[in-house]
Amino acid sequence: MIRDPYQPLPYTIAPARGQALLSFEGRRMPDNMPLFETTKVEEVRPPPSDQLPGIEQPTAVSGPNLLMHGDCLSACAYLKANNIKVDLVYIDPPFASGANYAKKIYLRNGGKTTLEGSVTVGEEVMYSDIWQKEDYLNWLYERLLAIRQILSETGSIYVHLDWHIGHYVKVLLDEVFGEDDFIEEIIWSYGSPSGGRAKTGKLVKNHDYILHYAMSYDSRIENKIYLPYSQAYIDDWFKYTDEKGRRYRQRMRKGDDGKNFWEIQYLDESPGIPLSTVWTDVLTVYADPRAYTGAGQSELDYEYTTQKPEALVSRIVQLASNPGMTVADLFCGSGPMAVSAHKHGRRFIACDIGINAVQTTRDRLAAAGASFDVLKIQDGIRLFRNPAQTLAKIFSLVEGFKTRKELELGEFWDGGLPGASGRYIPIKFVGLQERLTPALLDVYLEEIYQLEANNRADGVRIIYAHRDLAVDQDYVNKRIRESGKTQLKVELASLNQLLDKKGASLFTPDSAMVSVKVSQPGKWAVAVDQYFSPYLKAKIDEFNSKRGKRKKADILIDEEDKGAESENGDQPAKPPAKFHPVKISETGLELIESIQFDTTLRSDGVWISNPALEDKAGPKDKVKGRYVLSTDRFRIKFRNIAGDEFIWDSTKPEPAGAPAKKANRAKPTKRKAGKKGR
């Protein structure tokens, strides 16, 4: 079982200063945040300008730039414990939109495909945004408290929200930061080129809003930003041109003597239009540039569903921080804030709990030439890519599990185990980012007491990822006895216990066949001859099965149509195209998103990628699969198209059954690796 290296870190927040408090059933007031051990897993350093391709050179560790894989709450605890203060925080948390967000999974097949013009084999859920309102507000409130702990005295926070739940979050922000330190509400009107949304009979929603709070209203940083004049404005107002070709306008002014005079204002001396709280000039990444003009329309798409434009967050960086200051984005997604901070000379801290977000941000920062460390928060839970996919898999480990819908349970319950005569054992899972505390247990017990009324429950099971040490089975039994409200047995179960017993089925590793041979003196040719992913094989099989059934249905419909057409004397329609199932090639290279090499082999295990050897495939490009190194001692990090990673190590002993290794490496040597790393 994985140890839970947790210790509570107390909050030092002052009581709310007289403003209204948000009250709802199950409201929790946490007084500490969880501090976990943190491990540095990678150092990313830009190559020196004189570095030769393919040759590693030592680089110095510099700067506090951090990319953290873990929850926002735990990241704040790490920063607080290490006395790291932040001058600007931007967060784009889940919006409680009631939807799951996914990205398409593409085979990297060089543009050749049997998928009728598409190279996608399905989708992977990036994160779930389906919440009970009370759970969301408790979850976010705790993280806002934690963020307040790490802000500097002149620090600000910008919280990106929309209409779903932002009105409640505004009250939470008033509680945490104070009404007096609310600065402004920014409206981001991002545009929508599609008229589809208008068909619902409602006004088209085309804006988010960003709430700005400061630790101190008077001490905050707010730099002046001016937007350029439009050409129409220039033509209307700067009509005149002097003998040097400078455009200007004349304005009447009143002098100290009370007399009017004409003042000349030159265009090249005019700063522009002062930035207001309504931003209409930055488009969403997915806006169609044919329908709109404006900044951000040509920004690269990093295949991240909720990606925000770099132009948007860049404006916030320039508005609320100065060069050399530290900027943090604790729900970093595709990483635009960290990249913007780097480009504008700020230090950055980025964090996300999803591995796909961390990978996207890591690659984006590396491409921008940033220097940073990647840290993994050791919270004791091994995620299956991200919390949403982990939750979807967890209940498959519970034998006989049925969903709440199948058992006709209320929204509070995640599902349960069916029993005889319509009875059941409801199951409640404490979220991966939650800790089972005495206060949270009391909320759960109130729901459990209500089960007595329907007389169908045979017991209750609570599965937790983290818990306070005080909340064990004896504590639960004692609380139930003291209440006298139920005779139901409430069983506590650890997620790690489930993973220890059956977790191997979730984490079946990928494998690769790699050959290494001497190509010339001092040079080794490395070839990835074969790659296989059990998970992606199952994903493709599922895709083929669904598409095959769909095609069969189309054929049946077509046969019916033909019969009807022959009766009417019409010409038969063209038969539907034959279905061609997707097949993995012999090499399997189309399953690989990127390959990295580490030739430093540091004793502490920290990964240091050789930038000159990094090989990342685009949606229509395969990895090269062939490389030349100046050493035969190296590690390869494979990342597949679903985001899973594992490391192949040329220095490790051969696994059982692998081809024998040639001592002189004069001929290709193949090894199959099945070890998976995160």
Domains and CATH numbers, the chain: 24-45+64-96+131-193+206-222+287-378 (3.40.50.150), 226-274 (no CATH), 387-504 (3.40.1350), 507-678 (no CATH)
Q: What is the mean pLDDT of the chain?
A: 79
| pLDDT score of 28 more than 60 | yes
Please give the Cα distance from 350 to 358 (Å, whole number). Answer: 9
Q: Quote the CA–CA distance of 597 and 609 in Å, as a whole number.
A: 5
Does pLDDT of 546 surpass 80? Answer: no
In this predicted structure, the answer to whether residue 147 has a pLDDT above a threshold of 70 is: yes
pLDDT at 625 over 80: yes
pLDDT of 642 above 80: yes
d(CA 162, CA 211): 10
Specify the range with the lowest mean pLDDT, choosing from 16-20, 220-224, 258-262, 633-637. 16-20
Q: Specify the pLDDT at position 152.
A: 95
Count CB atoms within 10 A of the CB of residue 238: 18
What are the φ/ψ torsions at residue 61 (nearest 5 degrees)? -75, 130
Gap between the Cα atoms of 429 and 454, Å rounded: 21
The H-or-E segment that residue 502 falls in is: helix 495-502
- Own/partner pairs, 196-199, CB within 8 angstroms, 24+ separation: none
State the pLDDT at residue 677: 39
Rounded Cα distance, 613 and 590, in Å: 19
Cα–Cα dist 306/646, whole Å: 27
Question: Residue 401 corresponds to which tokens in the numbers above?
Answer: 């599990």
* Residue 13 reports pLDDT greater than 80: no
Q: What is the DSSP string of 575-598?
A: PPPPP------SS-GGGEEEEEEE
Give 14's DSSP letter.
Answer: P
**Rounded CA separation 621/623 (Å):** 7
**Of the given ranges (90-104, 305-319, 486-500, 564-578), which has the lowest mean pLDDT?**
564-578
Across 5-134, the runs of DSSP E, i.e. the strands, are 6-10, 32-44, 66-69, 86-91, 100-106, 120-128
Rounded CA-CA distance 466/463 in Å is: 9
Question: Which segment, 151-160, 214-223, 378-387, 431-440, is predicted with the most confidence on average?
Answer: 151-160
Tokens of 500: 């220890």
pLDDT score of 358 more than 50: yes
Q: How many residues does the chain have?
A: 678
CA distance 350 to 362: 10
Residues linked to residue 424 through DSSP beta bridges, in sequence order: 418, 457
Rg of the chain, C-alpha, whole Å: 29
Task: State the residue for tokens 């006004």.
Answer: 203
Residue 131: what are its φ and ψ, rounded to 5°? Answer: -135, 155
394-412 pLDDT, tens digit each: 777 778 888 888 888 888 8
Cβ within 8 Å of residue 667, ≥6 positions away = 517
What was the pLDDT predicted at 366? 93
